[in-house]
Amino acid sequence: MRSAVVVGAGVGGLAVAGALARSGWRVTLLERADRVRPEPTAVALWPNGVRALRALGLGAGLEAIATPLPDGGVRRPDGHWLVQPRPTPADRMPVVVHREDLHDALIAGLGDEVELRTGVTVRTVRAEPGQRPSVGDGRHTVEADLVVAADGTDSEIRRQLAPESGVVSSGCAAWRAVIPWYRAPKLPADRPVGGEVLGAGYRFVSASLGERGSSGASSRGGIYWVATAAGAPRPEPPETQLALLRRWYAGWPAPIAELLDATDPADLVQQEIRELRPLPRSYGFPAGPGGVVLLGDAAHAMPPHLGQGACLAFEDAATLASLLRESRLPDAVVAYDRVRRPRAATVVRQTRRMSAVLKARGPLALRARDAALGTITPRLLSTAATTAAQWRPPT
């Protein structure tokens, strides 16, 4: 029986661990935290992410927990439309899923064949010719035919195997929250949830997680919002951070004030936005009978402006699982690098273009951005949507 060690129990690690176990692999999943626990927020999945989950055999329950995310358009803080909402073809419409629901589905997909070890911090990795790949925590070493580094933006495995790739700040921080339905404001029809508002270094996006009062498979419905601001994360407690957000976004179009007022400090999750520059020169490192591969944020951490982080992680997992079914293990490691690196580079390049648009500051830059936004942003988003919609798992 072939064996694999997956390092990191985020969405990508859980997805690939389950896929390998269902294919007959003996899988050990290592997680540095003491508990495997998701953020109480949500995640957008574009068609490529949905298709990847289906290829991994995890699509059956997705419809019960996913809510379509129609185009809500883009406005300025004064309410002026920069990009009017437009109908989205069904094959290009993203969905939004509560992270805890997605986590439950991924955990269920592990089955009984995955050995999960928590509280393990991987400090060393071996990927040398003639020797089985392995990882260690300073006390114990675990060998396997394949090591999957899904250990996130601060991946220690990537740092050792691809030291040319560094983690840098994207120059902004994000705050996320889900307001449960029992506490969500009841908004009039002319102030719907959804869409994006774009200011000078500030951005606010909101979406509904299901319908109020619906009796779906998830009890975690509500209103999801994300606020992004230029600068470093705030060191203050959540109560102060929330007060700052209410001040920064005061006077912005409805229903932003209502959503922030309905948010409890305990709902708030702050995150510094970071990315890899440059991307690793390789995503696959042959060693002995197999090798080591980089997956998810360990391979291509990027700003969240196009919502592709989780989607690319699921693409990575589906691609690796497919290649391992069709190829010898060392060949699959090489093929994984050949297939995934150009794909990731394309999506990261599109994300950075959008990031440049969103970072515009100063009167002249803002006027130029707003004047061009109606042309630039739809084209960028259309290109990104096409890129997402066209992906297929390899056969």
Q: What is the per-residue pLDDT for 215?
A: 46
Query: Whose structure tokens read 């803080």?
Result: 77
Instruction: Give exposure, 131-159, as e/b (b: 16+ Cβ within 10 Å).
Output: ebbbbebeeeebebbbbbbbbbbebbbbb
CA 338/CA 35 separation, integer angstroms: 34
Instruction: List per-residue pLDDT tens for the chain, 395 residues long.
Output: 899 999 999 999 999 999 999 999 999 999 999 999 999 999 999 999 999 999 999 988 888 899 999 888 889 899 988 888 888 888 788 999 999 999 999 999 998 889 999 999 999 999 999 899 999 999 999 999 999 999 999 999 999 999 999 999 999 999 999 999 999 998 887 777 889 998 888 899 999 998 876 544 455 899 999 999 989 999 999 999 999 999 999 999 999 999 999 999 999 999 999 999 999 999 999 999 999 999 999 999 999 988 899 999 999 999 999 999 988 999 999 999 999 999 999 999 988 887 776 665 566 555 665 665 555 555 555 666 677 778 888 77
Amino acid (1-letter code) at residue 226 = V
Identify the residue whose tokens are 């690939």: 16
* CA trace torsion 155, 160, 161, 164 (10° rounding): 90
Predicted pLDDT at 361? 59
Q: Provide the whole-model pTM.
A: 0.93
Distance of CA 164 to the CA centre of its chain: 23
Please give the helix or strand (H or E) that residue 54 lies within, else none.
helix 47-55
Identify the sign of the CA torsion 18, 304, 217, 10. positive
The span from the CA of 26 to the CA of 114, in Å, is 7
**Residue 111, both tokens:** 């089955």
- Quick check: 283 and 161 in contact, CB under 8 A? no
Q: Give the pLDDT score at 89.
A: 83
What SS3 class is residue 348? helix
Q: How many CB atoms lie within 10 A of CB 289?
A: 17
What are the residue ranges of helices labelled H in the chain? Answer: 11-22, 47-55, 62-65, 99-110, 156-161, 238-248, 256-262, 297-300, 309-326, 329-358, 363-390
How much is the pLDDT for 217? Answer: 44
**Looking at this protein, which amino acid is placed at residue 63?**
E
**β-bridge partners, 97:** 43, 66
Residue 158 has a pLDDT of 98
Phi, psi dihedrals of residue 93, rounded to the nearest 5°: -80, 125
The pLDDT score that the predictor gives to residue 371 is 61
